[in-house]
């Protein structure tokens, strides 16, 4: 069964450093998402991406964040200058249709020290 | 209450019993999706129910949706120890594109 994959599973970085989180969505899906879950808190939406552009973003997704689909398979989330409060589990999700099921990857645990 | 609030926060049952979890939300929705999350792991999609649907089944799962009460329930029948996990409802609001808004979740423990 096709699934969303994410790398790395765990990333440790120092405050102020740039990180790139990688995702491979399900191959025929068209809508891509990033969410995050701070430990002990709710899953929060960050950004949605369709047709090579951002379709929606939350207030969390400020200028420090960017997303890219550099080729036909990868979908990346870049944080330019990480802060301690960026420590969280980051989930990528993909969907075949606009209001369809969103399938999540296993997540990348980002720890900013 | 917040969008996508689950009730109860925690539920402990014996294997073989049924588990019912409830979710309430505040705004009009396009659909509601239920997910399972094992501790520290990813979110597994369980079922999607659209705003014009009232009930859906998938294996041992039964989901209902009452848009007049802005609530949904997830019933797991004949529970197993492997069902132990956190369960979340997530709504796609009519005015918020396709983003999912998650609740706090219900922690289900199924005792063998």
Q: Which residues of B touch A91 (CB under 8 A)?
A: 42-43
- How many other CB atoms are there within 10 angstroms of residue B81's CB atom? 11
Banded pLDDT at A40 (limits 50, 70, 90): confident
d(CA B106, CA A107): 20
pLDDT in tens, B72-103: 999 999 999 999 999 999 999 999 899 999 99
Closest CA to A45 of A13, A88, A81, A84: A88
Banded pLDDT at B2 (limits 50, 70, 90): very low
Residue A28 pLDDT > 60: yes
Residue B1 pLDDT > 70: no
Q: What is the structure's pLDDT at B93? A: 95
Q: What is the mean pLDDT of chain B?
A: 93
Q: What is the structure's pLDDT at B3? A: 61
Mean pLDDT of B20-41: 93
Pairing of strands A53-57, A108-112: unpaired
Mean pLDDT of A23-43: 95
Chain B nearest-CA distance from A100, in A, is: 8
Q: Tokens standing for A86?
A: 């960026």
> Can you tell me whether residue A84 is helix, strand or coil?
helix
Beta pairing partners, B11: B108
Q: A88 and A11 in contact (C-beta within 8 Å)?
A: no
User: Which of A24-33, A77-86, B1-10, B34-43 is the least confident region?
Assistant: B1-10
Q: Which residues of B touch A100 (CB under 8 A)?
A: 48
Chain A nearest-CA distance from B17, in A, is: 28
């Amino acid at each position: 069964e096709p699934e969303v994959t994410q790398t790395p599973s765990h990333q440790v970085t120092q405050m102020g450093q740039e990180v790139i989180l990688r995702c491979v969505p399900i191959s025929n899906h068209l809508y891509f998402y990033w969410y995050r879950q701070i430990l002990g808190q709710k899953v929060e939406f960050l950004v949605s991406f369709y047709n090579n552009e951002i379709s929606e973003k939350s207030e969390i997704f400020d200028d420090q964040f960017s997303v890219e689909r550099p080729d036909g398979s990868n979908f990346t989330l870049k944080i330019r200058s990480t802060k301690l409060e960026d420590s969280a589990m980051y989930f990528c999700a993909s969907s075949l249709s606009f209001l369809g099921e969103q399938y999540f990857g296993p997540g990348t645990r980002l720890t900013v020290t | 209450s917040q969008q996508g609030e689950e009730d109860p926060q925690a539920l402990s049952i014996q294997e073989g019993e049924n588990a019912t979890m409830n979710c309430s939300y505040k705004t009009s929705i396009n659909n509601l999706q239920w997910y399972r999350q094992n501790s520290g792991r990813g979110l597994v999609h369980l079922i999607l129910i659209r705003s014009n649907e009232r009930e859906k089944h998938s294996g041992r799962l039964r989901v209902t949706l009452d848009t007049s009460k802005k609530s949904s329930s997830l019933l797991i029948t004949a529970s197993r120890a492997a069902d132990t996990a956190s369960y979340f409802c997530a709504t796609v609001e009519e005015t918020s594109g396709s983003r999912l808004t998650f609740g706090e979740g219900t922690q289900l423990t199924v005792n063998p």
